[in-house]
Amino acid sequence: MTIKITRKIKGYNVKRPDGGAAEASAAAPTEPQAEVIQMHERLERPGVLVGATYKIKSPLFEHALYVTINDIVLNAGTPHESRRPFEIFINSKNMDHFQWIVALTRIMSAVFRKGGDVTFLVEELKAVFDPRGGYFKPGGTYMPSIVAELGLIVEQHLKSIGMIKDSEISEAQRALINEKRAAYEATLKAPGAAHDVGAGEAGGYPAGATLCPKCNTSAVVLMDGCATCLACGYSKCG
Ligand SMILES: [Zn+2]
């Protein structure tokens, strides 16, 4: 669906997640606005949707899972243009869990199409753990279940389309972590150091690094008597 703009655009509002609107210009607030299309369940699916396919390889599954999330572009070409997830599919050669996968993807797609804030799905999925035990992804991040990894993929996707603000560590923090890491590696290489240098471990974190409670990555090392995560910067000493 497209909207024809018949009058000159004199200003616009940026919709904030908290419901408030930020004035983007000094336009009079009484200026009539073109109708903005929001996500709702009666929105018809266009013939073509853009999307992305992600691969999950887990030791819990013999075959890889392919997760496709398709997006709908609302208000294309207007200041209100936004990309929202519309549907999700999971494909795999593994048919063991077929009915549950189909059920999950249908419900997730329905939630996407309802509109509103769908980001809660990420936290719900990431909190699911497999009673048979989780696994480590390449890079050393612990996944408590396949469903949790699915949550991670949805999070990645929502970040890529701008629905979740990337709370990635700032550049200054990243520099600090790199500095800490270099310092740690220097202590390992120092002559007389009794440590075992295990370079090339999962994700390149030092051997013996323990699991970080914040980012679930095996990257916590002891530095100056303080447990410090080399992946996200988490530190027990603040
Ligand atoms: Zn961490």
CA of 233 to the centre of ligand 1 (A): 6
Low pLDDT (below 70) residues in the chain: 1, 16-34, 167-169, 190-203, 238
pLDDT at 17: 67
CA of 212 to the centre of ligand 1 (A): 5
CA of 140 to the centre of ligand 1 (A): 10
pLDDT at 201: 41
Same structural domain, 107 and 57:
yes
Domain end: 160, 183, 205, which one?
Answer: 160
**How far is 182 from 119, CA to CA, in rounded Å?**
36
Same structural domain, 216 and 147:
no
Same structural domain, 106 and 208:
no
Same structural domain, 178 and 151:
no
Same structural domain, 55 and 147:
yes
Same structural domain, 178 and 116:
no
Q: What is the DSSP letter of 194?
A: -
CA of 60 to the centre of ligand 1 (A): 24
**How far is 228 from 131, CA to CA, in rounded Å?**
29
Q: What angle do the packed helices 146-160 and 98-114 form, to 10 degrees?
A: 30
Same structural domain, 180 and 132:
no
Domain end: 160, 186, 218, which one?
Answer: 160
pLDDT digits (tens, 9 = 90+) for 86-107: 999 999 887 778 899 999 999 9
Whether 5 is covered by a domain: the verdict is no
Same structural domain, 141 and 190:
no
CA of 218 to the centre of ligand 1 (A): 8
Structural domain including 134 reads 50-160
CA of 124 to the centre of ligand 1 (A): 20
Whether 96 is covered by a domain: the verdict is yes
